[in-house]
């Protein structure tokens, strides 16, 4: 299995349980890994034989900058579902990490994040 990674994409969204998160918004980061077979792309050097990085980025942007969710778990789930639906037959599975670097939680920490794995990674 081969993998395509889009690492540390950055967006601004309005997700969160607290009302001020939905009004003020905040930064979010996302990393996506796609389980794919890109041998043919490597042999032919043709975009049609791989998954468009731009398309995956656009899905992440659409979900994170779009409809507000209470939980970043829901954000990650929607990103994974859209990727698997849009790239059916090309993407066998995906790992999606959504990071909330500045949640309104008192204390000292770097960030909070969720990571999910969806799909079938081996056929």
pTM for the full predicted model: 0.94
Domain residue limits, the chain:
2-119
Q: Is 2-119 a CATH 3.30.1130.10 domain?
A: yes
Q: How far is CA 115 from the centre of its chain?
A: 9
Per-residue pLDDT of the chain (123 residues), as tens digits, is 899 999 999 999 999 999 999 999 999 999 999 999 999 999 999 999 999 999 999 999 999 999 999 999 999 999 999 999 999 999 999 999 999 998 888 888 899 999 999 997 654
Report, as residue numbers or ranges, the catalytic residues: 100
């Amino acid at each position: 299995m081969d993998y395509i990674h889009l690492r540390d994409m950055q967006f601004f969204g309005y997700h969160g349980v607290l009302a001020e998160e939905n009004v003020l918004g905040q930064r979010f980061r996302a990393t996506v890994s796609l389980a794919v077979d890109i041998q043919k792309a490597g042999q032919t050097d043709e975009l049609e034989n791989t998954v468009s990085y731009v398309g995956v980025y656009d899905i992440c942007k659409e979900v994170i900058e779009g409809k507000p969710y209470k939980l970043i778990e829901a954000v990650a789930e929607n990103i994974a579902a859209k990727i698997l639906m849009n790239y059916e037959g090309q993407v066998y599975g995906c790992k999606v990490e959504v990071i909330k670097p500045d949640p309104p939680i008192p204390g000292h920490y770097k960030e909070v994040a969720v990571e999910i794995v969806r799909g079938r990674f081996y056929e």
